[in-house]
Structure formats: C-alpha cells, structure tokens
Amino acid sequence: MTLLQLGWSPFFEEAFAPYRSKGLVPARLIRETAINYGAFLEGGEEIDLVLSGKVWHDAANDAELPAVGDWVAVDLGGENEDHVIRARLPRRSCFSRKMPGKSSEEQVIGANVDVVAVVTDAGPDFNPRRMERYFALIARSGAKPVVLINKADLFTKQENAEAAAELAALCPDADIHVTSALNRKGLSVLKSYLKKGATMCVVGSSGVGKSTLVNQLYGEEWQWTGDCNEVTGKGRHTTTSRELVPLPGNGMLIDNPGMREIQMWTDEQTLRESFADVEALSHDCKFADCRHQKDAGCAIRGAVEAGSLELGRYESFLQLDDEIAELRRRAKKRQMSVERWAKRNHRVKARNLEDRIQLEKDERGDWC
Ligand SMILES: Nc1nc2c(ncn2[C@@H]2O[C@H](COP(=O)(O)OP(=O)(O)OP(=O)(O)O)[C@@H](O)[C@H]2O)c(=O)[nH]1
Ligand SMILES: [Zn+2]
C-alpha cells in the first residue's frame, strides 16, 4: 500500500514537511487502545505505536489526541524500542460526538473520513427527523454525506422517489441514491465513492442492509456483521482489531463500535425531539412534578381534552420513556461492547501521568 492508497494528499505532505526533515515518518492510525495505537506505514506494514508524553500533555482535550484515521509523525524505534508518535497532523475532517453525560467532552470516532454513507429505506426505517440528526453530524465532520435508500426492490418506484426527494430537500449537499443490495446496485454506488485513498464509513439503523453492502465491498471471503463480538468489541469480521480496514480495490472503511453507536444515539434524540411540542406544553402544568396523567391542572391532558392534542400522540408521549428504554434494551448488547471499547481507549481514562501508569499496570495485570 502506498501512502496515496492510505489517503495521503498534498495537504498532509505540507503539514508533514517539518517532521520529515527531522527524520520522522508518516503513519495512519488504524486502531487505538488504552495503552497504544496501531498504524499502517507506507508499504502497508502494520506497527504498534505509543504516544509521546509531549503530544499527550499538549492536547487541550481528548478530542485533540490522535484517533483512528489520523495521520501521525512517527519516530521509529530501534530493536526493543517503542515507535513513538511525535505529532498528530491536522485533520481534514473529524467524525465525532459528545460523550454521553459529559456535555463538554467530545469523542472522536473517526478522523479524516471522506464519505459517510447513511443507509435507510423508503419504508419502515424512513424517518426524516433521524436523517436530520445524521446530516447535522456529517456536516459538522466535514465529510461528504451520501444516502442509500436501500431495499428499493421492496418498494414502488414512486415510494423510493418520494423518499429521495424528501431527503434531498433536507440536505442539498447529500448525494441520494436509490439502491438495492440484492442486485448489487448499492455496491456500485459505494464503489463510485471509493476512489484511491478515500475513507468511508457506513452508518444507519439495524436491518437496513449495512452488513450486506459492506460484505459485498469486502468480497466473498470476509464476512462483516454489525454485531459486536462480546469479548473484543469488534465486528465479527475482524480477526485483527483493525478499525480502519483497507478494501479490495480502492479505499478504506472505518468501522468501530462508536460508529455503530451513532444509530442508537440518533434514534433516541429523534424520539425525544419528535415530542418537543408536547414537552413544551408541560411548562404550563400546575405542578412541577406533574406526571401528565390524572394530575390536577395538567396542561397536556388539558390540550387533549380541548382537542388540540391527539389522544394517540398523548399516549405515545406517555410511553416515551418506555420507548427509549426499549431502544436502549435493543442496543444494550452493542452498548456493552462500546463501553468496553471506550474503556480500552484513552478517551475515558484520566489524563494525568499517575493514572496512566496505573492503567498500564492494570492492563498488564501488574498490581504491585
Ligand atoms: N429485499 C432486500 N433485502 C435486503 C437488501 N439489503 C439487505 N437486505 C436484507 O435485510 C436484512 C438485514 O440486512 P443486514 O445487512 O444484516 O442489515 P444491517 O444494517 O447490517 O443490520 P445490523 O447488522 O443489525 O446493523 C438481511 O436479511 C438482508 O438480506 C435489499 O436491498 N433488498
Ligand atoms: Zn402535566
């Protein structure tokens, strides 16, 4: 693999110039754990790396630390020496989310992603509100949004076209394609974005056909399933723990649990937002702890009785917490592996040196 095939460009070459003159080499990160990183070097050799203390301390927050997809400047160690990351090159794009519960912490899910393909369908999965969440995330990242309205074979031409038109209106920057994984049309669409060095990720709800499409990209020999391996937290296709995977032909795929978790987070957000108007009514409830059932002075019940709020919508609103719980239950298996993954990552560990040393000891099973 050449640097170009790994996504190198004049942008990175320019940023790398001062490091090159110091004898460092460029590498692209393909994996991260609490202790170290994995990366591809020019030629495709895979190496383990550690972060220099300086890069660690200079990072103002976790989002500035190197993440999967980043290009870094590496000091290659000699025999029995670590290879050390001396710097992270600037990012052309960055796919990130806020850490759950910690509103100020940004979590980088993938850096230097060129294309984000969102897979949906014109039927049960179709939800413009959820798609808005995806579009907002992608717009912030700087990647190109691409939508696959998949399973076209199950819906009429008109249904597919209407779904496409609605999404096109929501996000004029997005390329919208009607595809079917069955006739491999989805495959050719994805391939058209996988130019030499392009990095892609594939997101979307469970069951829309992501695995089917990605397996077609990998070719027959490699099976990808969205299910995470309980132990490793990786998709079952990975015999190694790569989160950035070169594809046969051109391009690379970033696939990690954080990427898969986006769906759950987006769904929950969408669900909450879709009841924002009902929630707004609750400000007029007489009691702050109103449960909006038989409570006196409930503004939401009042709206139902006055006919300005549909009974069915009110009932769904009451079930909102249940629905979110159900969403979480379904995602629990994945979430567990995401947590394990996050724990193994530097993002959630304390950033002072003592804690880091302790973490490394723990990781080695070294308790003294
Ligand atoms: N009819 C039809 N079925 C499809 C198409 N693409 C995928 N499927 C089927 O839809 C089901 C779900 O597909 P997957 O590829 O497992 O979906 P996924 O998005 O990876 O789902 P998770 O792994 O749960 O995230 C499978 O039975 C596929 O065979 C399509 O274009 N048309
Ligand atoms: Zn109320």
ipTM, 2 decimals?
A: 0.95
Q: Are residue 177 and residue 273 in the same domain, yes or no? A: no
Domain boundary among 255, 278, 304: 255
Residues 350 and 238 in one domain: no
CA–centroid distance, residue 124 to ligand 1 (Å): 13
- Residue 229: per-residue pLDDT: 46
Global confidence as pTM: 0.78
Q: What is the CATH number of the domain that holds 89?
A: 2.40.50.140
Question: Angle 185-193/210-218 helices, nearest 10 degrees?
Answer: 70
Query: Edge-to-edge, what's the strand order for the sheet holding 199-204?
Result: 175-178, 144-150, 115-121, 199-204, 252-254, 244-246
At which of 234, 255, 276 does a domain end? 255
The mean-pLDDT minimum among 92-106, 160-174, 207-221, 270-284 falls in 92-106
CA 269 – CA 263 distance, rounded (Å): 10
What angle separates helix 311-318 from helix 320-344, to the nearest 10 degrees?
Answer: 40
The CATH number for 356's domain is: 1.10.40.50
What is the CATH number for 170? 3.40.50.300
225 domain residue, yes or no: yes
Query: 207 in ligand 1 pocket by Cβ < 6 Å?
Result: yes
Do 108 and 236 lie in one domain? The reply is: yes
Cα–Cα distance between 56 and 353 in angstroms, integer?
A: 9
- Tokens (6 digits) for 172: 């004029």
Q: Burial level of 213, CB count in 10 A (0-12/13-18/19+)?
A: buried
Q: Is 136 within a domain?
A: yes
Do the domain assignments include residue 160?
yes
State how far Cα 9 lies from the chain centre: 23
Residues 89, 100 share a domain: no
Does residue 261 lie within any of the structural domains?
no
Cβ(210) to ligand 1 under 6 A? yes
- Give the number of domains in the chain: 3
Q: Is the CB of 153 under 6 A from ligand 1?
A: yes
Whether residues 207 and 296 fall in one domain: no
Query: 25 with 142, same domain?
Result: no
pLDDT at res. 286: 94
Is 181 inside any structural domain? yes
* Higher-pLDDT residue of 313, 195: 195
Residues 244 and 281 in one domain: no
**Encoding tokens for residue 340?**
């394990």
Residue 331, pLDDT score: 64
Cα 155–121–68 angle (5° rounding)? 155
Task: Tell which wins on pLDDT, 243 or 336.
Answer: 243
Q: Is the pLDDT of residue 254 over 60?
A: yes
Burial of 268 (0-12, 13-18, 19+ CB in 10 A): middle
350 exposure class (CB count in 10 Å sphere: 0-12, 13-18, 19+): exposed
User: pLDDT digits over 306-361, tens only?
Assistant: 999 999 889 888 888 787 777 777 666 555 655 565 555 544 444 455 555 666 66
**Which residues are annotated as part of the binding site for Zn(2+)?**
285, 290, 292, 298
pLDDT, tens digit, 9 for 90 and up, residues 20-71: 999 999 999 999 887 789 999 999 999 999 999 899 888 888 889 999 999 9
For residues 108 and 136, membership in a common domain is answered with yes
Residue spans of alpha helices (H) in the chain: 10-20, 53-58, 128-141, 157-170, 185-193, 210-218, 257-273, 276-281, 299-305, 311-318, 320-344, 353-364
User: Which pairing describes strands 94-99 and 144-150: parallel, antiparallel, or unpaired?
Assistant: unpaired
Residue range of the domain that includes 30: 10-93
Same domain, 135 and 176: yes
Same domain, 61 and 136: no
Closest ligand to residue 304's CA: 2
CB-neighbour burial class of residue 18 (10 A; exposed 0-12, middle 13-18, buried 19+): exposed
Q: Mean pLDDT score of the chain, rounded to an integer? A: 84
Of the three residues 67, 93, 119, the one that is the final residue of a domain is: 93
Cα dihedral 360, 363, 367, 368, rounded to 10, equals -30
> Is the distance from the beta carbon of residue 237 to the nearest atom of ligand 1 less than 6 Å?
no
Residues 52 and 106 in one domain: no
Looking at the structure, tell me whether residues 82 and 102 fall in a common domain: no
How far is the C-alpha of 73 from the C-alpha of 211, rounded, in Å?
34
Query: From atom 22 of ligand 1, which residue's Cα is the shortest distance away?
Result: 206
CB distance 257 to ligand 1 below 6 Å: no
